[in-house]
Amino acid sequence: MTAIPPVLTLVLAGGRSDALHALGRIRTASALPYGGKYRVIDFTLSNCVHSGLNRIGILTQYAPLSLHGHIGIGRAWDLDRRDGGIRLLQPYVRQRETNWYRGTADALLQNRNVIEDAQARHILVLSGDLVYKMDYAELIRFHEERDAALTVATVEAPSEEPDRYGFVRADRSGRVTALEEKPERAYGRVVSAAIYVFRARDLMHRLRRPEGGPDLVRDVVLPMIAEGAPVFAYPHRGYWRDIGTVESYYESNMDLVRPVPPLNLYDPDWLIYTPSEDRSPAVVGAEASVSQSLISHGSRVEGEVRRSVLFPGVHIGPGAVVEDSIVMHDARIAPGARLRRAIVDKRVAIGRGAVLGEAGPGGEGLCVVGKGSMIPAGATIGPRTLIEIGVSERDYPGRDIAAGSVIRPR
Amino acid sequence: MSFVSYAMILAGGLGSRLCILSEKRAKPAVPFGGKYRIIDFTLSNCVNSGIFDVGILTQYRPLSLRDHIGIGRPWDLDRKRGGVELLQPFQGWAETDWYRGTADAIHQNWTRVEEREAEHILVLSGDHVYRMDYRPMIEAHLARGADATVAVTEVPREEARGFGIVDLDGESVVRGFLEKPASPPSGTISMGVYVFRTSALHAVLREDSERDTAHDFGRNILPEMVRGGRVLGYRHEGYWQDIGTLDSYYRANLDLLKPHPPFPLEDPRWPVFTPSTEFPPARIGARAEVRSSIVTHGSIVNGRVERSVLFPGAVVEEGATVRDSILMGETWVGPQAVLDRVILDKRVHIGPRARVGFGDDRTPNRSCPEHLSSGITIVGKETRIPEGTTIGRNCRVSANLIEEDFRDDTIPSGGVMERELNVAH
């Protein structure tokens, strides 16, 4: 770790992700359970502490309770500190101009007193809903060496969906010449990683402009590039995933159970921290069969598990089969049930012999079962089915649910 | 609400019957059950019973225990009022010395009890695995105006020899107390869990400290109190296991693997707290086979594991087989190695194709046959067993050995492996 100048880190963690369906309705994407024992924001926070950054504000707005409960006073990251540490920044009522955060730039502007009080030289603006490991100290050194007003970290686009990324073009020196937000067609492979270091005074100057808008990229970053401010691209090599959709969330979890995972969680020098759960060790039963999976404390496996991620407290009964699935905290998979390509949220109960997501005439695709819902014993649920939060037995029209259905509580 | 709010835990013992597991740590700090240390059970019982003021008496090798307990955070014992305090012997103005026994340990720290102006205190042992709500026992003690109340449990009579035998009458009054008799009259034994009226305890401790005794709770204090006061027995129903010997340690660990364990660790109403490790979830590989086993965060299994307990960071490589074994934290079992009835202490490294716990020869251990005769082979902390080595049963391999220390590629059953001494047959 190298000495770094005074930096204030602000983590944007207030967004609402409709593309996460039932997973994202009760929590902001940053608070999504990930990788068996983590929340997505653990990556950003662990990166911060490993990079020597310990003055951190987390901007929350949408469904923040799950996130607030997770972060607490920041103990898990050694961020319960006298100086600095973690602050949760919710919108609040003021004497004048009270409003919710209308966008990312507006969220920063509403916290201008926090930024000014920090007297930091640079402001690192991060997103809480990304999975990656990065040494921000190197990014900041790069930014200082070039005397940049703004440095944007870039990565190679992890998927072929141009409308999910901002494409960055830079000249040979690394200076950014254009940024195309969510275009219809891809512009090369280099995209913004949504990781920004601003020189503090440049950021404040931009935010305070009367004509400024609420969005950080559209109303701050793009005008800076257009007006010729020194904006540089910092190439990040290594794993980086945005988990803002059900598919990308699923794929990133499944990356962890590949024979050689592209993201190493076992590096003792860069462990990902998260609050511990005080659960007992996992028990694998006498008849169980487990392969290519992650298993967390408090779990009890009596059936078969393949290529899956099990969170704490999951019980899988004898004869049950779980394949290519993500099963969150305290879900109960009854004996004989079968799951394929399913994301099962916390405290879901899958009844005896129920079948979920098996490919049939309706094709393949992910099933999502919302928090606290149940699937009746003996039910057959086709792929691409969305079961909303809190669905109970009487909400099912029958025992056979066609592919692509949506089941809601009545 | 009971009036008892202070507990003292005896955690200083040598634990010599645990062989090399307690060579470098006090018995309460011995790892247990995949992620715990033995003392976690007593500490968790305290906080789950609403007791948040705890003194731990340490003497023998306290560093491992001290690191584990820290400021008591995992148990919510980092408190302004109360909390946890480790009481190690110290030098002072008055006559002070190493603790001469469990009773002397409490007596030397009597100011701690006085400061609290407690009328009654709990005295516990840090080396038992059990779950107990102390509150009903405290209530019984208070309701019946006892000077001391002793928790008792039943064990088979032939196993009772290592314990204090309690003779109860029909009113649960203790009529006699026999510490470790050669032929036990019954299987009703003391669990090492006591509630004392402080004035009564102090009088006996003071007298005992002047005399030439073992200064031991079981040997001296309890019999003395039974003679001169009102001592009650309190029957504890449920699992209780003393971790006194290697065999009982091994059995208590493997008890957890039964389909219906006598002591389920997973109970949200009575969690067992311990400091967390920062490892990711357990990773089971594509060719792994895991059955009837405990896996923990940071363990990685690519081979075959049956009826075994894997602590955090234990790694079993492809083609390796681990049966009926206990693998402590950050151990590594190389490809094609075979382990059968083995206890590996932390960070032991088993080279590829090594066989540990091998063969049908059941010769007891030649240096401690009384503790190592049931077929368990034990390997001490951080030892590295070379590739292809064969080690029999009932063997004891010391801590901190490196590959070069092994001159022979075979250690027969009952062997002892120590540095320089090499293999003694």
pTM assigned to the model: 0.91
Average pLDDT over residues A331-360: 95
**pLDDT value of position A159:** 84
Enclosing domain of residue A339: 283-407
Residues A214 and A142 in one domain: yes
Does pLDDT of B359 surpass 80? yes
Convert the pLDDT of each residue in B299-313 to its tens digit: 999 999 999 999 999
Nearest CA in chain A to B265: A280
Q: Using CB atoms, which residue from B33, B273, B293 is nearest to A284?
A: B293
Does pLDDT of A99 surpass 90? no
- Other C-beta atoms closer than 10 Å to the C-beta of A345 total 25
Q: Does residue A356 lie within any of the structural domains?
A: yes
Whether B123 contacts B194, CB under 8 Å: yes
Edge-to-edge strands, sheet with A304-306: A289-291, A304-306, A321-323, A338-340, A355-356, A380-381, A400-401
Q: Does residue A372 lie within any of the structural domains?
A: yes
Average pLDDT over residues A335-353: 97
CA torsion through residues B179, B182, B185, B186, sign: positive
Whether B328 contacts B346, CB under 8 Å: yes
Q: Does residue A318 lie within any of the structural domains?
A: yes
Amino acid at residue number A89: L
Q: What is the DSSP letter of A237?
A: -
Residues A297 and A391 in one domain: yes
Residues A144 and A219 in one domain: yes
Collapsed DSSP state (helix, strand, coil) of residue A68: helix
Q: Which residues of A touch B297 (CB under 8 A)?
A: 37, 296-297
Percent of chain B exceeding pLDDT 70 equals 96
All domains of chain B, ordered by start, with CATH? 7-255 (3.90.550.10), 283-424 (2.160.10.10)
Whether A271 has its CB under 8 Å from any CB of chain B: the answer is: yes
Residues A289 and A217 in one domain: no
Pick from A63, A15, A52: nearest CA to A135: A52
Where are the alpha helices (H) located in A58-131, listed in sequence order? 65-71, 104-110, 112-118
Q: Using CB atoms, which residue from A266, A293, A300 is nearest to B284?
A: A293
Residues A339 and A238 in one domain: no
Question: How many separate domains does chain A show?
Answer: 2
Q: Rounded to a whole number, what is the distance in Å from the CA of A33 to chain B's nearest CA? A: 13
Q: To probe the interface with A, which of B32, B276, B299 has the most A CB atoms within 10 Å?
A: B276
Convert the pLDDT of each residue in A146-187 to its tens digit: 999 999 999 999 888 888 899 999 999 999 999 998 888 888
Alpha-carbon distance of B29 to B37, in angstroms, equals 5
Amino acid at residue number B303: G
Residues A296 and A183 in one domain: no
Whether B400 contacts B381, CB under 8 Å: yes
Q: To probe the interface with A, which of B43, B44, B77, B283 has the most A CB atoms within 10 Å?
A: B283
Whether B287 has its CB under 8 Å from any CB of chain A: the answer is: yes
Pick from B377, B343, B384, B396: nearest CA to B32: B343
Q: Rounded to a whole number, what is the distance in Å from the CA of A344 to chain B's nearest CA? A: 18
Q: Look at the block and give the residue holding tokens 């928790």.
A: B151
- What are the φ and ψ backbone dihedral angles of A279, each rounded to 5 degrees? -105, 160
Alpha-carbon distance of B90 to B312, in angstroms, equals 35
Query: Up-side HSE of residue B62: CA atoms within 13 Å toward CB?
Result: 15
Percent of chain B exceeding pLDDT 90 equals 79
Residues A196 and A315 in one domain: no
Whether B291 contacts B306, CB under 8 Å: yes
Whether A120 contacts A55, CB under 8 Å: yes
Query: Up-side HSE of residue B174: CA atoms within 13 Å toward CB?
Result: 32
Q: What is the CATH number of the domain that holds A108?
A: 3.90.550.10
- Indicate yes or no: CB of A294 within 8 angstroms of CB of B34: no
Does pLDDT of A362 surpass 70? no
- Indicate yes or no: CB of A280 within 8 angstroms of CB of B34: yes
Q: Rounded to a whole number, what is the distance in Å from the CA of B57 to chain A's nearest CA? A: 25
Convert the pLDDT of each residue in B332-347 to its tens digit: 999 999 999 999 999 9
Whether B286 has its CB under 8 Å from any CB of chain A: the answer is: yes
B 177-216 → A contacts, CB under 8 A = none
Convert the pLDDT of each residue in B2-20 to its tens digit: 578 999 999 987 667 777 8
Higher pLDDT, B114 or B424: B114
Alpha-carbon distance of B399 to B64, in angstroms, equals 15
Residues A287 and A236 in one domain: no
Strand partners, B234: B151
**pLDDT value of position A3:** 52
With 0-12 / 13-18 / 19 or more C-beta atoms within 10 angstroms meaning exposed / middle / buried, residue A78 is exposed
DSSP run (H or E) holding A377: none
Alpha-carbon distance of B351 to A146, in angstroms, equals 50
Q: Exposed e or buried b for every residue in A300-322, given b needs 16+ CB within 10 A? A: bbbbbbbbbbbbbbbbbbebbbb
Report chain B's terminal Cα–Cα distance, integer Å: 61
Whether B285 has its CB under 8 Å from any CB of chain A: the answer is: yes
Q: Does residue A265 lie within any of the structural domains?
A: no
Whether B380 has its CB under 8 Å from any CB of chain A: the answer is: no
Convert the pLDDT of each residue in A275-286 to its tens digit: 988 899 999 999
Q: Does residue A316 lie within any of the structural domains?
A: yes
Which segments of B181-254 are extended strands (E)?
Answer: 188-197, 231-235, 240-242
Contacts 24+ apart (CB under 8 A), A358-361: A358/A382, A358/A383, A359/A383, A360/A403, A361/A403
Higher pLDDT, B99 or A292: A292
Q: Does residue A289 lie within any of the structural domains?
A: yes
Whether B218 has its CB under 8 Å from any CB of chain A: the answer is: no
Alpha-carbon distance of B412 to B397, in angstroms, equals 12
Collapsed DSSP state (helix, strand, coil) of residue A122: strand
Does pLDDT of A2 surpass 70? no
Q: Rounded to a whole number, what is the distance in Å from the CA of A178 to chain B's nearest CA? A: 39
Alpha-carbon distance of B40 to B410, in angstroms, equals 38
User: How does residue A337 score in pLDDT terms, banded at 50, 70 and 90?
Assistant: very high
The encoded tokens of residue B160 equal 């009772």
Convert the pLDDT of each residue in B13-50 to its tens digit: 766 777 788 887 888 999 999 999 999 999 999 999 99
Alpha-carbon distance of B261 to B284, in angstroms, equals 23
Cα–chain-centroid distance for residue A404?
A: 25
Q: Which residues of B touch A257 (CB under 8 A)?
A: 283
Residues A251 and A288 in one domain: no
Q: Does residue A354 lie within any of the structural domains?
A: yes
Alpha-carbon distance of B261 to A81, in angstroms, equals 42
Nearest CA in chain A to B282: A295
Average pLDDT over residues A347-357: 97
Does pLDDT of A1 surpass 80? no
Collapsed DSSP state (helix, strand, coil) of residue A153: strand
Alpha-carbon distance of A245 to A164, in angstroms, equals 10
Contacts of residue A366, defined as CB under 8 A and 6 or more positions apart, other chains included, come to A246, A247, A250, A341, A342, A343, A357, A383, A384
Q: Which residues of B touch A297 (CB under 8 A)?
A: 35, 281, 296-297
- Indicate yes or no: CB of B292 within 8 angstroms of CB of A284: yes
- Indicate yes or no: CB of B294 within 8 angstroms of CB of A284: yes
Whether A335 has its CB under 8 Å from any CB of chain B: the answer is: no
**pLDDT value of position B43:** 97
Pairing of strands A33-34, A38-39: antiparallel
- Other C-beta atoms closer than 10 Å to the C-beta of A18 total 9
Residues A76 and A173 in one domain: yes
- Indicate yes or no: CB of A283 within 8 angstroms of CB of B294: yes
**pLDDT value of position A4:** 57
Average pLDDT over residues A308-328: 98
Residues A169 and A54 in one domain: yes
**pLDDT value of position B420:** 66
Q: How many CB pairs under 8 A join A and B?
A: 106
Q: Rounded to a whole number, what is the distance in Å from the CA of B99 to chain A's nearest CA? A: 34
- Indicate yes or no: CB of B278 within 8 angstroms of CB of A280: no
Q: To probe the interface with A, which of B37, B76, B272, B290 has the most A CB atoms within 10 Å?
A: B290
Percent of chain A exceeding pLDDT 70 equals 98
Alpha-carbon distance of B216 to B107, in angstroms, equals 11
Alpha-carbon distance of B20 to B15, in angstroms, equals 10
Residues A358 and A237 in one domain: no
Q: Is B7 left (phi over 0), alpha (psi -120 to 50) or beta?
A: beta
- What are the φ and ψ backbone dihedral angles of B269, each rounded to 5 degrees? -85, -15
Q: Does residue A25 lie within any of the structural domains?
A: yes
Whether B96 has its CB under 8 Å from any CB of chain A: the answer is: no
Q: What is the DSSP letter of B238?
A: S
Q: Rounded to a whole number, what is the distance in Å from the CA of B235 to chain A's nearest CA? A: 27
**pLDDT value of position A5:** 67
Q: What is the DSSP letter of A75?
A: G
Q: To probe the interface with B, which of A267, A290, A308, A327 has the most B CB atoms within 10 Å?
A: A290
Alpha-carbon distance of B34 to B291, in angstroms, equals 15
Q: What is the CATH number of the domain that holds A327?
A: 2.160.10.10
Averaging pLDDT over each range in B66-70, B115-119, B354-358, which range is the top one? B354-358
Window from A376-385, B74-83, B258-267, B379-388 with minimum mean pLDDT: B258-267
